[in-house]
């Protein structure tokens, strides 16, 4: 289905991004993996994708808080594969703390990685997509793109920003067969969620079990975590020809959280 296409997925060394990059490779796309982590483990995953799915996989260590590195990642992908057809802006970080104690550098990093990086990547990839008159841009937003939770000021602000950027880019590229959408997952069990448990325990004075059941799963009527594979399946559909008329949408996948 995606043979001959190239997909760049930011923040794909782990969690949701890794599931998306694997799902695109399974459909035949060449992929660019990006993110941080242990070099040997990343190389193992990269090689594994090439061998399992008979596609080409590149790794870019570009830091999503550095605009020049983002532009370079897109240029390198275009040089290596001839195009960037699918761009998934997925890299993200979290920090949980009350506003009056929220470290300023954490605010700046979350806005840069979770929001501004999507702008820089879209800015770099759009000219090639326009020339080819085809493109798919998918932003991993969050339920926090439409609703808020306390103690996540930077994350909620960044994800609301991603929703606005998604809609604006969709309008700008509407006549170029480039769709721009956001997936808004509820809680997905990944390192990002695991890492916020101690911070949430401190911010809310709760035990680990209370955080999992009374904060995380409390939000989701299904009482189940969303899976990375479910998010990846939606990302595959959004990259398909059948999804041509879906653009500017913020698609919830949150077990009913935002139906409250
Ligand atoms: P994760 O921690 O497993 O993955 C985050 C990825 O981003 C990793 O590959 C990491 O190396 C990369 N990354 C972090 N900082 C980076 C930087 N400066 N430059 C490049 N890469 C960087 O987390 P995840 O849960 O898979 O999160 C992926 C996306 O999904 C994020 O945007 C997150 O906000 C969003 N999301 C997650 C959930 C959830 O419950 N896990 C829910 C909604 C939205």
Atom of ligand 1 nearest to the CA of 37: 11
Q: How confident is the model at residue 42 (pLDDT cuts 50, 70, 90)?
A: very high
The per-residue pLDDT for 34 is 98
**What's the CA-to-centroid distance between 101 and ligand 1, angstroms?**
23
Closest Cα to atom 44 of ligand 1: 142
Q: What is the mean pLDDT of residues 168-180?
A: 98
* Rounded distance between C-alpha atoms, residue 138 and residue 181, angstroms: 5
Q: How confident is the model at residue 207 (pLDDT cuts 50, 70, 90)?
A: very high
Atom of ligand 1 nearest to the CA of 141: 44
Q: What percent of the chain has pLDDT over 90?
A: 95
Q: What is the mean pLDDT of residues 232-247?
A: 98
Q: What percent of the chain has pLDDT over 70?
A: 100
Q: What is the mean pLDDT of residues 164-172?
A: 99
Indicate the burial class of 84 (C-beta count within 10 angstroms; 0-12, 13-18, 19 or more). Answer: buried
In the predicted structure, residue 196 carries a pLDDT above the cut 90: no
The per-residue pLDDT for 254 is 97
Q: What is the mean pLDDT of residues 34-63?
A: 98
* Mean pLDDT score across all residues of the chain: 97
* Rounded distance between C-alpha atoms, residue 5 and residue 28, angstroms: 8
Distances in whole angstroms, Cα of residue 110 to Cα of each of 100, 114, 171, 185, 217: 16, 5, 26, 18, 24
* Predicted confidence (pLDDT) per residue in 57-91, tens digit: 999 999 999 999 999 999 999 999 999 999 999 99
Pick 58 or 219 by higher pLDDT.
58
The per-residue pLDDT for 255 is 97
Closest Cα to atom 43 of ligand 1: 142
Atom of ligand 1 nearest to the CA of 189: 41
Q: Please give the DSSP secondary-structure letter assigned to residue 112.
A: I
The per-residue pLDDT for 138 is 99
Rounded to 5 degrees, φ, ψ at 50 are -60, -45
Mutate to test the pocket of ligand 1, among 12, 16, 45, 254 (most ligand atoms within 8 A of CB): 16
Mutate to test the pocket of ligand 1, among 36, 92, 106, 158 (most ligand atoms within 8 A of CB): 92
Q: What is the mean pLDDT of residues 114-127?
A: 98
In the predicted structure, residue 43 carries a pLDDT above the cut 90: yes
Q: What domains can you pick out in the chain, each with its CATH number? A: 6-188+225-253 (3.40.50.720)
* Rounded distance between C-alpha atoms, residue 12 and residue 166, angstroms: 20
- Put simply, whether the predicted model's pTM sits higher than 0.85 gets the answer yes
Ligand 1 pocket by Cβ (under 6 Å): 11-17, 34-37, 63-65, 90-93, 113-114, 140, 142, 185, 187-188, 190-193
Least confident residue range of 74-88, 155-169, 203-217, 227-241: 203-217
Burial 189-208 (b: 16+ CB within 10 A, else e): ebebbeebbebbbebeebee
* Rounded distance between C-alpha atoms, residue 191 and residue 197, angstroms: 10
In the predicted structure, residue 192 carries a pLDDT above the cut 90: no
Q: How confident is the model at residue 249 (pLDDT cuts 50, 70, 90)?
A: very high
In the predicted structure, residue 182 carries a pLDDT above the cut 90: yes
* Rounded distance between C-alpha atoms, residue 5 and residue 14, angstroms: 22
Q: What are the catalytic residues?
A: 155
**Shortest CA distance to 238 belongs to which of 172, 142, 170?**
170
**What's the CA-to-centroid distance between 14 and ligand 1, angstroms?**
7
Residues 6+ apart with CB under 8 A from 23: 229, 232, 233, 235, 236
* Predicted confidence (pLDDT) per residue in 122-134, tens digit: 999 999 999 999 9
Mutate to test the pocket of ligand 1, among 70, 74, 91 (most ligand atoms within 8 A of CB): 91
- CB distance 116 to 168 below 8 Å: no
In the predicted structure, residue 232 carries a pLDDT above the cut 90: yes
Q: What is the mean pLDDT of residues 29-52?
A: 98
Pick 33 or 216 by higher pLDDT.
33
**What's the CA-to-centroid distance between 175 and ligand 1, angstroms?**
31
**What's the CA-to-centroid distance between 152 and ligand 1, angstroms?**
15
């Amino acid at each position: 289905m995606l043979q001959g296409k190239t997909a760049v997925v930011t923040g794909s060394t782990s969690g949701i991004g890794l599931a998306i990059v694997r799902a695109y490779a399974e459909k035949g796309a060449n992929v660019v993996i990006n993110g941080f982590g242990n070099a040997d483990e990343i190389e193992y995953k990269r090689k594994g994708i090439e061998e399992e799915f008979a596609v080409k996989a590149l790794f870019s260590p570009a830091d999503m808080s550095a605009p020049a590195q983002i532009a370079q990642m897109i240029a390198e992908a275009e040089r290596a594969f001839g195009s960037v057809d699918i761009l998934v802006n997925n890299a993200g970080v979290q920090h949980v703390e009350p506003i009056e104690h929220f470290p300023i550098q954490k605010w700046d990093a979350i806005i840069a990685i979770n929001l501004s990086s999507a702008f820089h990547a879209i800015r770099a990839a759009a000219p090639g997509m326009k020339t080819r008159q085809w493109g798919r841009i998918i932003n991993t937003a969050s339920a926090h793109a439409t609703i808020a939770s306390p103690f996540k000021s930077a994350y909620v602000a960044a994800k609301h920003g991603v929703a606005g950027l998604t809609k604006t880019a969709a309008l700008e590229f509407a006549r170029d067969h480039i769709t721009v959408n956001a997936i808004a997952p509820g809680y997905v069990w990944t390192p990002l969620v695991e890492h916020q448990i101690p911070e949430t325990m401190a911010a809310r004075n709760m035990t680990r079990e209370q955080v999992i059941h009374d904060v995380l799963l409390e939000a989701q009527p299904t009482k189940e975590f969303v899976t990375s594979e479910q998010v990846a399946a939606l990302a595959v559909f959004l990259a398909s020809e059948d999804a041509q008329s879906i653009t500017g949408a913020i698609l919830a996948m949150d077990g009913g959280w935002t139906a409250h």
